[in-house]
A and B are shown apart, each in its own frame.
Chain A
């Protein structure tokens, strides 16, 4: 990373609090758009509640459709936060600083979207599922079956949501103190309350620094468990042939990282375009994340390869039939081709070029492509796996998501956009204190005619 501009703390405050202390002109129309899409989705949800799940494309034997695809997709996106934040914190990677919070916040809103997709919308009549749990009817003496993956799943997702929300909140405290110091009246009182009286003593900074590392180390194992458990929703079953594979947990995790880190890269580009934070998110940052993506994508592709090799290795007729369906029968065949090209064969070769890695436009395009591909990947795992004609299934057919279903899918995406926009209005999306710390710890070493960027290591 050679491009570096030394900024004062005051400048950093002015630059990075623009989203909180001011409102850009585009902000209201953008929010309005997301609210509109969200409301359309909610209306579709209301219609489905009134008419029943028959208004969706779900039918025997495909009862897991776009909602479950969305659930897995958003759980995947949510892995971005911890991947970027925790791993890069633990490895003391300097380029993490401007992107950790955006990634963590993306985690929180994606998790909420995942919860919206599965336990709320997917179950059709949520009160029959959710109100069975809350409040729990102890009087009946009937207890949940903890041997079911559908109990492991909420325990993991709720742990992850709690952990990542607290992670964001703890790291927000010093920045809330900065906003407190820059606001007046009721706003000051509110931020003063949220900042808990943070003053910036050495003890408070030390605890803040340790918190980043310790919480990263604690959230990391949770992050690994969440998508593993989501994968086991599928893999422990022996019904659909393509699902019962030991590779599913790591395959889902690495896919989630691929998709999530791509989403963070998309977000980085949007942050530069929307708020003009190009002093903080530079081509060097995009370059670093693109290099990381090449490794992650290739690792993901290796797991994809293993999944396929071992499916063929079984030589079981049912498994073979399922794979033939995925690859040779329309529309799955062309979706499969689109998936492979968007998730790997277009973006990864492009990232090999320095010009692409450092271009806002191309990084935006390629990372969006990855997520199109990764959504399709989940679709191709879930739907063809269920629709294949197999023993003891006397009713089969295809699956086409209905317009009602698609409106609800769009709603979950709008929720993330809406949440992120509202967040940026209330809290800074780039951690100011982290950027300031980076500036303090920045140094240079002169070797002959060359100046090498350096940083302080205590």
Chain B
């Protein structure tokens, strides 16, 4: 159900989980594609509570890449400084592995953590500059279902959400609070 016109979004608010899950089924069976609708909640629920698909992510690659970068940076820093200024201190040989290991370890962990944080933000699809249809009651316990599609589909979307038991429906294009 794709369209060439710029997409618009609408949100329906539901008071309980079962109604929201039924509404999600109704949206899906009305022909909207997976990427066109989302469920918004104020707290994490067990996966699949609303019958939604499990989100796929590649977060685990980030710490590995970060660790490799951090390790390399640590190795270059520790080996490079000793070779660039080859001064024997306290009888410790140049390229002393135990102290190098300590700094390389910190570098590895720092790299892994920085990349993980970047990965979390990236994989969460943040920052999101335009909120689209949203309602502040989501963080109060209401469950929201948003449908983002072509302008022509909006009446149909609103109808489905209303039929499914939404206590309120808001149009994204009429909201100014978050953009």
Q: Find out whether the CB atom of B103 lies under 8 angstroms from the CB atom of A162.
A: no
Query: With a CB–CB cut-off of 8 A, which chain B residues contact A210?
Result: 57, 59, 120
With A163-B109, A197-B129, A214-B63 as given contacts, are A203 and B85 in contact (CB-CB < 8 Å)? no
Query: With a CB–CB cut-off of 8 A, which chain A residues contact B96?
Result: 147
**CA distance in complex: A221, B106 (Å):** 9
**CA distance in complex: A196, B100 (Å):** 38
Cβ of A55 < 8 Å from any Cβ of B?
A: no
Shortest C-beta distance, A41 to chain B (Å), equals 30
**CA distance in complex: A441, B124 (Å):** 23
Task: Name 20 A/B residue pairs within 8 A (Cβ), A-sorted.
Answer: A13-B139, A147-B82, A147-B89, A147-B92, A147-B96, A152-B99, A152-B106, A170-B121, A173-B126, A178-B139, A181-B139, A182-B139, A196-B126, A198-B128, A206-B55, A207-B59, A211-B120, A218-B112, A433-B44, A440-B45
Cβ of A85 < 8 Å from any Cβ of B?
A: no
Cβ of B72 < 8 Å from any Cβ of A?
A: no
Shortest C-beta distance, A92 to chain B (Å), equals 13
With A147-B99, A152-B99 as given contacts, are A202 and B47 in contact (CB-CB < 8 Å)? yes
Cβ of B178 < 8 Å from any Cβ of A?
A: yes
Query: With a CB–CB cut-off of 8 A, which chain A residues contact B57?
Result: 203, 206-207, 210
Q: Find out whether the CB atom of A144 lies under 8 angstroms from the CB atom of B81.
A: yes
Cβ of A225 < 8 Å from any Cβ of B?
A: yes
User: Binary interface profile of B, 49-78, with partner A (CB < 8 Å = 1, else 0)?
Assistant: 010100101011001000000000000011
Cβ of B140 < 8 Å from any Cβ of A?
A: yes
**Interface residue from A182, A222, A437 paired with B44 (Cβ < 8 Å):** A437
Cβ of B117 < 8 Å from any Cβ of A?
A: yes
Q: Find out whether the CB atom of A218 lies under 8 angstroms from the CB atom of B63.
A: yes
Q: Find out whether the CB atom of B46 lies under 8 angstroms from the CB atom of A441.
A: yes
Cβ of A436 < 8 Å from any Cβ of B?
A: yes
Q: Find out whether the CB atom of B59 lies under 8 angstroms from the CB atom of A155.
A: no
**CA distance in complex: A144, B140 (Å):** 54
User: Binary interface profile of A, 280-311, with partner B (CB < 8 Å = 1, else 0)?
Assistant: 00000000000000000000000000000000
Query: With a CB–CB cut-off of 8 A, which chain A residues contact B80?
Result: 143
Binding site for A on B (CB under 8 A): 38-47, 50, 52, 55, 57, 59-60, 63, 77-78, 80-82, 84-85, 87, 89-90, 92, 96, 99-100, 102-103, 105-107, 109-110, 112-114, 116-117, 120-121, 123-131, 134, 136, 138-141, 144, 177-178
**Interface residue from A141, A163, A203 paired with B124 (Cβ < 8 Å):** A203
**CA distance in complex: A214, B46 (Å):** 18
Query: With a CB–CB cut-off of 8 A, which chain A residues contact B102?
Result: 152, 155-156, 225, 229
Query: With a CB–CB cut-off of 8 A, which chain A residues contact B44?
Result: 205-206, 208-209, 433, 437, 440
Q: Find out whether the CB atom of A207 lies under 8 angstroms from the CB atom of B123.
A: yes
Q: Find out whether the CB atom of A141 lies under 8 angstroms from the CB atom of B85.
A: yes
Q: Find out whether the CB atom of A200 lies under 8 angstroms from the CB atom of B138.
A: yes
Q: Find out whether the CB atom of B116 lies under 8 angstroms from the CB atom of A214.
A: yes
**CA distance in complex: A200, B45 (Å):** 10
Q: Which residue of A lies closest to B92 (CB)?
A: A147
Cβ of A199 < 8 Å from any Cβ of B?
A: yes
Known: A181-B139, A196-B126. 4 other contacts (CB 8 A): A9-B141, A146-B100, A201-B39, A202-B52
With A170-B117, A202-B55 as given contacts, are A192 and B63 in contact (CB-CB < 8 Å)? no
Q: Find out whether the CB atom of B40 lies under 8 angstroms from the CB atom of A163.
A: no
Shortest C-beta distance, B92 to chain A (Å), equals 5
**CA distance in complex: A433, B141 (Å):** 11
Q: Find out whether the CB atom of B59 lies under 8 angstroms from the CB atom of A218.
A: no
**CA distance in complex: A209, B41 (Å):** 14
Q: Find out whether the CB atom of B39 lies under 8 angstroms from the CB atom of A202.
A: yes
Q: Find out whether the CB atom of A9 lies under 8 angstroms from the CB atom of B45.
A: no
Q: Find out whether the CB atom of B139 lies under 8 angstroms from the CB atom of A200.
A: yes
Shortest C-beta distance, B121 to chain A (Å), equals 7
Cβ of A246 < 8 Å from any Cβ of B?
A: no
**Interface residue from B85, B117, B136 paired with A182 (Cβ < 8 Å):** B136
User: Binary interface profile of A, 128-155, with partner B (CB < 8 Å = 1, else 0)?
Assistant: 0000000000000111111110011001
Q: Which residue of A lies closest to B146 (CB)?
A: A199
Binding site for B on A (CB under 8 A): 8-10, 13, 141-148, 151-152, 155-156, 159, 162-163, 166, 170, 173, 177-178, 181-182, 188, 192, 196-211, 214-215, 218-219, 221-222, 225, 229, 433, 436-437, 439-441, 456, 458
**CA distance in complex: A22, B90 (Å):** 58
Q: Find out whether the CB atom of A215 lies under 8 angstroms from the CB atom of B134.
A: no
Q: Which residue of A lies closest to B102 (CB)?
A: A152
Ranked nearest first, the 6 interchain pairs of A and B with the lowest CB-CB distance are A197-B128, A9-B141, A436-B43, A181-B136, A143-B81, A196-B127
**CA distance in complex: A159, B127 (Å):** 25
**CA distance in complex: A166, B126 (Å):** 15
Q: Find out whether the CB atom of A458 lies under 8 angstroms from the CB atom of B46.
A: yes
Q: Find out whether the CB atom of A146 lies under 8 angstroms from the CB atom of B43.
A: no
Q: Which residue of B lies closest to A435 (CB)?
A: B43
**CA distance in complex: A218, B90 (Å):** 33
Shortest C-beta distance, A154 to chain B (Å), equals 10
Most chain B C-beta atoms within 10 Å of own C-beta, residue among A9, A151, A221: A9
Q: Which residue of A lies closest to B66 (CB)?
A: A218
**CA distance in complex: A174, B17 (Å):** 20
Q: Which residue of B lies closest to A149 (CB)?
A: B99
Q: Find out whether the CB atom of A143 lies under 8 angstroms from the CB atom of B84.
A: yes
**Interface residue from B40, B42, B59, B116 paired with A9 (Cβ < 8 Å):** B42
Query: With a CB–CB cut-off of 8 A, which chain B residues contact A145?
Result: 87, 89
Most chain B C-beta atoms within 10 Å of own C-beta, residue among A145, A155, A200, A203: A200
Q: Find out whether the CB atom of B177 lies under 8 angstroms from the CB atom of A188.
A: yes
Shortest C-beta distance, B42 to chain A (Å), equals 5
Q: Find out whether the CB atom of B59 lies under 8 angstroms from the CB atom of A197.
A: no
Query: With a CB–CB cut-off of 8 A, which chain A residues contact B138?
Result: 181, 199-200
Shortest C-beta distance, A215 to chain B (Å), equals 6
Shortest C-beta distance, A134 to chain B (Å), equals 16
Q: Find out whether the CB atom of B120 lies under 8 angstroms from the CB atom of A170.
A: yes
